[in-house]
Amino acid sequence: MQSEGRALLLANAFIDTRAKLNFSIPAHLQSAAASGTYIVQSRTPLDAAFRAQLASAGAEIVSYIPNNAYLVRMTAAGAAQMSGRSGTSAVLPYEPYYKINAALLGAAVAQKALPDGAALTLGLFADDAARTVAQIEKLGATVL
């Protein structure tokens, strides 16, 4: 499945977009509301035409996701627009579950606290970093 064009290869999941999702994400690791971040997969290898479709839907490409997909930031309306296009294979919300390092996933699913003094490396969107840092500090963590 890894080499097939319809498989999304994420750190914590291999998603076959030809089939209905057959795994559940714990509620506490799902987005509470539309986060504005989606995985959009093309039915064919990525090209300029698909990128133009994303741009016309108001999407900002963040990064490539294997296979034939981009992590994008866009509105829910843009996601709906891309879902309706014949060249789109899948549009999925980019859930918090997908972002967690595999070594930490078990503790996150079980809602276990990290050991005191644990250090984490976080990847943030540059235009949202200040808000994210404020949320982290509100939880009692120190940002270095």
pLDDT (mean) for 79-107: 92
Supply the pLDDT for residue 23.
72
The confidence score (pLDDT) of residue 65 equals 95
* Segment 55-80, tens digit of pLDDT: 999 999 999 999 999 999 999 999 99
Q: How many domains does the chain have?
A: 1
With a CB cutoff of 8 Å and minimum separation 6, the contacts of 6 are 16, 17, 18, 41, 67, 68, 89
Instruction: Tell me, yes or no, whether 66 lies in a domain.
Output: yes
- Segments in the chain forming alpha helices (H): 48-56, 76-83, 96-99, 102-109, 129-138
- Specify if 116 maps to a domain: no
pLDDT band at 117 (very low <50, low <70, confident <90, very high): confident
Answer yes or no: is 69 within a domain: yes
pLDDT for residue 6:
78
Range of the domain at 86: 7-99
Confirm whether 85 is domain-assigned. yes
Residue 112, in any domain of the structure = no
Residue 46 domain-assigned (yes or no): yes
Helix (H, G, I), strand (E, B) or coil at 70: strand
Q: Across all residues in the chain, what is the average pLDDT?
A: 88
pLDDT, position 3: 52
Residue 114 within a domain: no
Query: Is 108 within the bounds of a domain?
Result: no
Looking at residues 79-95, what average pLDDT do you find?
Answer: 94
